[in-house]
Structure 1
Amino acid sequence: MNDADTASERAGAPAPDHPSKPEAPTDLHRRSWAYVLRTTVRQFSRDHCLDLAAALTYYAVLAVAPALLALVSLLGLVGNPERMVDQVVGTMEGLVPEDVLSVVTPLVENAAEGGVGAGLALALGLVLALWSASGYVGAFGRAMNRVYEIDEGRPVWILRPLMLLVTVVTVVIAALVVASLVLTGPVARAVGEAVGLGDATVAVWDVAKWPVVLALVAVLLAILYHWTPNVQQPHFRWISVGAVVAILVWMLASVAFGYYVANLASYGATYGTLAGFIVFLLWVWITNLALLFGAELDSELERGRELQAGIEAEETVQLPPRDTRASDKRQNRWRDDVERGRALRVASSRGRGDDDRQHATDGPRAPDEPRSTDTRT
């Protein structure tokens, strides 16, 4: 399988919702499913997803501090900041490893204790969070192009606004997820009293919030999977198979990693005071690995649909690009560089040939014999 096609090479691919393709994953044959599962694992390795997840981890860590600043500032507008910090930390205790929590807690507390007003801190945090998150979304789009074996063809004046829009939607959904987790116990009762809801409604919310959170995360992943790559996807799915699998893999991996850190690893002896931060980085890296695995599964499911429909997709997934202009421009520049390099090589070869012919005309000379000079007047 090729690493990537230029966008123009895929311009003639069949439509994403070609009538010959199976409409739903349940329409795939058992043989197709076996092929999809096998190639998902192999493509995950072939696309160097370990390295891609490391790059995504870098951008994710950059967005953590401003996101926490915006979160605590937002909560500070509706309640006591110190109480809200305790609620945020308490909610996270059962969701992330203890060493990860030891890194996040000081960041939340410092944001709450800052001297900047809550409104200004919220505005500053939102701007910084959007800027940092846009870097993550852009990197995720490049990773998705690798997954779908295509290069980026959208011009910058189209790509950047689209990525910014996806970033805004991503941040809003992420904020709703965090708010859903925080709105529990005393905080939920306080909000319920403020809007006129009774204790029964709050009790129902404490149970119903978990399906809501999972649905929001699945929608968030579906948006990232659908809009960031430079391929025309089949009709938008609010919850994709890859998104569901990514969530399940992330949950299982987080539990396993938490057990490993608590019972088997000795990061404290190796990294000392940096142990908590190292564990936090590893956990974010594992999270991104799960997201990329889900993306690979969606990509291979599309390949399975195409193969079952008789489309030649064994080498590359046959989805048409969203745009080819940037890719075509890069290809033209590359061809220009190749032609200039060829001209340079030919000119150098001709120069060496002239020197060789001149040497043959002069004939051989003894090592100490001086070169002949023209003494004609």
Structure 2
Amino acid sequence: MWRVWRNSGRHNVGLMAGGVAFYAFLSFVPLLGALVMTYGLIADPGVVARHMQMIIDLVPADAAKLIYDQLISLTTTAASKKGLGLLIALAVSIYGASRASGGMMSALNVIYEQEDRRSFIRATLISSALIIGAIMIGIVGVLSASMLGFVGDLVSGIGPLAALVVRATTWLIAALLASFTIGAMYRFAPDRSDARWQWLSVGALLAMFLWFLATIGFGFYAANFAGYDATYGSLSAIVVLMMWLYISAYAILIGALVNAEAERQTAIDTTTGAVRPLGRRGATVADVSEALQDGSHT
């Protein structure tokens, strides 16, 4: 963890998290729009806000209100779009939201010490694919939450224990989906040979755990001590949302740092495909083993 702490300063993780948060903020409305419209292809877009209520409630109150208001506005717009118009609007929203994944791609290249040699078209396609994947996983999460909520209503009469089990199952599914999404980002966003999933899981789980703790902690701080309303007035909701996006990006980048340092500390080939020797793996952190440099073996 000392190496993670040291490299977080060397790579300016705080500054990169701020940049990612800025691009995520610019992509906020397009991303919600893409989620609502994609959901509308298979279900009534008008109920997406209700199905996402449990997730929204986790976000700090001011940011949650802003997200909910945008969702209501977007569901009204999405309901009026049909057929080709819906697909065009969806494509525009995905392209707009790709700025967030593009910012994360740049940050992860820095953490994995990779120079991005991908063309603009390829980078755009990858960032859009990451957004589409995140949207699909988000829809699965929303549908799972809604189905489990329905089950919870059915079993609520059985007793509080049954309701608790359903709620715990809901959060477990959400945590697994979030960890998988973060792991996929670690694997496909940097311009390097893909890492094996087992070398991504620790950082992804840690990032999800840090994000959860930071979200709860920041929500409590913003509600009780920060005084954003007094300082920023009508802009307080935007400030809280920006701060929440910042700590979310920071948690994801710390998870990536943990993975990068784990790869750096072993001589084992951590990339996919046939086993290759050091220096020929197509990934900076996998091509240099500090364990061997220190005279030890992993």
Q: Note the 1:50-129 alignment, pairs <5 A.
A: 50-73=14-37, 74=39, 78-79=43-44, 81=46, 84-88=48-52, 90-114=53-77, 117-119=80-82, 122-129=86-93
Which residue matches 1:219? 180
The question of 1:136 aligning with 2:97 is answered: no
Distance 1:117 1:204, change over 3 A: farther
Quick one: which amino acid aligns to residue 171 of structure 1?
A: I
Q: 2:230 — aligned with what? A: 269
Number of residue pairs matched by the alignment: 267
Q: Which residue of 2 aligns with 1:286?
A: 247
The one-letter code of the counterpart of 1:247 is M
Deviations 1:93-126 (A, max 9, x none): 5311111112112111212333852535753553
Do the aligned partners of residues 305 and 288 (structure 1) sit closer, same or farther apart at CA in structure 2, a change above 3 Å counting? same
Q: Which residue of 2 aligns with 1:16?
A: none
Distance 1:116 1:165, change over 3 A: closer
Tell me what 1:28 maps to.
none
Alpha-carbon shift at residue 84 of structure 1 (Å): 4.7
Q: CA offset at residue 249 of structure 1? A: 0.7
- 1:222–1:237 contact (8 Å) kept in structure 2: no
Matched residue SS, 2:57: coil
* Counterpart code for 2:12: H
Report what 1:45 is aligned to: 9
Distance in 2 of aligned mates of 1:117 and 1:211: 35
Mapped to 2, the partners of 1:204 and 1:260 lie a distance apart of 29
**Structure 1 spans left out of the alignment, 5+ residues:** 1-36, 191-200, 321-377
Q: Report the equivalent of 2:286.
A: 319
The worse-fitting range, judged by mean Cα deviation, of 266-275 and 180-189 is: 180-189
Q: 1:100 to 1:125 in 2, by over 3 A?
A: farther
Distance (Å, rounded) in 1 between the aligned partners of 2:285 and 2:32: 41
What is the CA-CA distance between 1:129 and the residue it aligns to? 3.3
After the TM superposition, which residues 322-333 of structure 1 pair with which residues of structure 2 at under 5 Å, given as runs? Answer: none
User: Percent identity over the alignment?
Assistant: 25
User: Residue 149 of structure 1 contacts residue 317 of structure 1 at CA under 8 Å; is this kept in 2?
Assistant: yes
Query: Looking at CA atoms only, which structure, 1 or 2, has the larger radius of gyration?
Result: 1
Task: Give distance in 2, aligned partners of 1:87 and 1:170.
Answer: 17
Note if contact 1:218-1:239 (Cα within 8 Å) is conserved in structure 2: no
**Residues 116 and 65 from structure 1, CA distance in 2 versus in 1: closer, same or farther, beyond 3 angstroms?**
same
- Residues 277, 124 of structure 1: CA spacing in aligned structure 2 closer, same or farther, 3 A cutoff? farther
CA distance in 2, matches of 1:168, 1:41: 32
Given that 2:40 and 2:78 are in contact with CA atoms closer than 8 Å, whether structure 1 keeps it comes out as no
CA distance in 2, matches of 1:51, 1:291: 14
Contact 1:67 1:125 in 2 (8 A): no
Indicate conservation of the 8 Å contact 1:53/1:285, yes or no.
yes
Q: 2:179–2:204: 8 Å Cα contact kept in structure 1?
A: yes
- The CA deviation at 1:186 is 4.8
Which structure ranks higher in relative contact order (CA pairs < 8 Å, sequence separation ≥ 6)? 1
Q: Return the alpha-carbon distance in structure 1 between the equivalents of residues 239 and 19 of structure 2.
A: 15
Q: Structure 2 residue aligned with 1:153, among 117, 131, 148?
A: 117
Q: Deviations over 1:152-195 (max 9, x none)?
A: 123445444334333332332233233333445359879xxxxx
Which consecutive segments of 4 or more residues in structure 1 shift more than 6 A?
A: 187-190, 201-204
Gaps of 5+ in 2: 155-161, 269-277, 288-298
Shift in CA distance, 286/184, structure 1 to aligned 2, threshold 3 Å: same
2:144 is matched with which residue? 180
Which amino acid in structure 2 is aligned with residue 132 of structure 1?
A: G
Matched residue type, 1:126 = L
State the distance in 2 between where 1:41 and 1:101 align.
31
Could you state the TM-score of these two structures normalised by the residue count of structure 2?
0.76
Q: Is 1:164 equivalent to 2:167 in the alignment?
A: no
Please give the alpha-carbon distance, in whole angstroms, between the structure 1 residues aligned to 2:199 and 2:138: 16
Distance 2:205 2:96 in 1: 26
